[in-house]
Chain A
Amino acid sequence: MVKFSEDHEWVKLDGDIAEVGISPHAVEQLGDIVFIELPDIGTNVTKGDAVAVFESVKAASDIYSPAGGEIIDVNTALADDLGAITADDAMNNWLFKVKLTAPSDLDGLMDEDQYNAMID
């Protein structure tokens, strides 16, 4: 089941690996994306750390890790193909994967209905 943060990240949990992306709403709000920076594999992150940056024409937007742990994989293909970052593909475009140190970090994330209510 997918969960959402207040900062428009989505999280899919598989055992103790959290796969993280940004929501279709977030992609629409960003507009034309001109550059993204993803974290390095092996980086240790804490819940709430700014770990990635999406630069659109007008502004830079931080992407936060919804949980603490180690970055074990990063979607570098996406950084090289910004055109693939669309609202339609947002739920499939994972950005990074975190091996969780504390799965309880994900408590308090919203389910899809709660997230949709938030963005309305």
Chain B
Amino acid sequence: MNTKQTPLHAFHHAHNARMVPFAGWDMPVQYAAGIKAEHLATRQSAGLFDVSHMAQLEISGGRAAADLSTLTPSDIAGIGEGRLRYSLFLNDQGGVLDDLMIGRIGDLFYLVVNAGRADHDIAHLQKHLDASTNMAIRTDRALVALQGPQSANVLGMLGLRLDDFRFMQLRHFDFDGTELLISRSGYTGEDGFEIALPANVASEFCDACLSTGLVTLAGLGARDTLRMEAGLPLWGHELDETITPVEAGLGFAISKKRRDMADFPGANRINDQLKTGPKRRLVGLSASGARPVRDGVILRHNDRPVGSVTSGGFAPSLDRPAALGFVEAELATPGTSLLADTRGAPTPVTVSNLPFVQHQYFR
């Protein structure tokens, strides 16, 4: 199988990245610093991640808003100029086909979808978009995420004027004569930015970030530990076609207007769950002891299986193991004690509130 390379592939090699295949792409899982150090540097200063494997789509045309509405539970028409929303492609059972960001800039909708679902999402859109709606796939652009409390300072040092640029906004900026499309958003829980830029400028931009002395290169390993601490779902783990947004704690992504109209895929099931509560819920899990509790481990209460772990490992900011998982709704109360069927001996875990680490968004 030929893995694809992002525009930063040579850059990664030059920076001693350890590369792994991910969703068909050759990606850095870590650099020399290692996952823990990259994670902590992101929360303490700033981390820089190549996320060019995610697909960037532009949808335009007179029916674009209507088309995107039919596929999501979002108020697409209500997305203002320069605004970004977290959204979901749903199936008729209310299950999540993918989670994505949808922003409006100029006369187009800008979508960023998961790398592992890009082929699916593109086919899904092609099948459902009106003949007059145009979709462009921006493979000419790289995408990098700059995340952490110093990230705004870093962009300032690069000459960008942020001028009241807030969380979930989307704007064009000039970097040395090149146009960047930047959102104040991310997947770490920290204040941060996601920067779309021409592929041939990506290395130069990353070098400029590094030259500020405030930025640490970070790979997919740290990306995963950061998002888990932030309680953010990963499609294929906390989300899939059999999981509804209500079960996954994503009720906020369902527009109230759309809920009242019940005019989105799976609306009946989702409205039912919103009314009476879902049968299972996504929770945080704190393990006693030092042994991580990993994906797929069954959770028990009084010997009965009551759920399972969907993401689990070590949380560097907490300096202890942490996990996400689904449990029966009655047991989803923080403080509930469960037993995880870990290899060897069972591990006691406690249901915890999410996020593990508080969000620091610049609102």
Contact = CB atoms under 8 A, between A and B. Distances in A.
Contacts of B321: 34-35
A34 B30 contact: no
Given A57-B225, A57-B316, A58-B29, A32 B34 contact: yes
A31 B292 contact: no
Contacts of B290: 34-35
Contact of B35 (A32, A35, A37, A60): A32
A57 B291 contact: no
Q: How large is the interface on A (under 10, 10 to 19, 20 to 34, 35 or more residues)?
A: 10 to 19
Looking at chain B's contact residues, the main secondary structure is: mixed
Contacts of B221: 31, 57-58
Nearest to A29: B18
Contacts of B225: 57
B35 A58 contact: yes
A59 B221 CA distance: 11
Given A57-B314, A58-B29, A35 B34 contact: no
- Dominant secondary structure at the A interface: strand
Given A34-B321, A37-B344, A60 B34 contact: no
B213 to A, nearest CB: 24
A53 B347 CA distance: 15
B318 to A, nearest CB: 11
A83 to B, nearest CB: 12
B219 to A, nearest CB: 11
Interface string A31-42: 110110100000
B149 to A, nearest CB: 22
B61 interface: no
Interface string A20-58: 000000000001101101000000000000000101011
A55 B292 contact: yes
B344 A57 contact: no
A32 B344 contact: no
A86 to B, nearest CB: 12
B313 A32 contact: no
A59 B292 CA distance: 9
Nearest to A58: B221
A32 B290 CA distance: 13
26 contacts: A31-B30, A31-B221, A32-B316, A34-B292, A34-B321, A35-B290, A35-B291, A35-B292, A35-B321, A37-B291, A37-B344, A53-B343, A53-B344, A55-B291, A55-B292, A55-B314, A57-B36, A57-B225, A57-B314, A57-B316, A58-B29, A58-B221, A58-B313, A59-B294, A60-B292, A60-B343
Interface of B: 29-30, 34-37, 221, 224-225, 290-292, 294, 313-314, 316, 321, 343-344
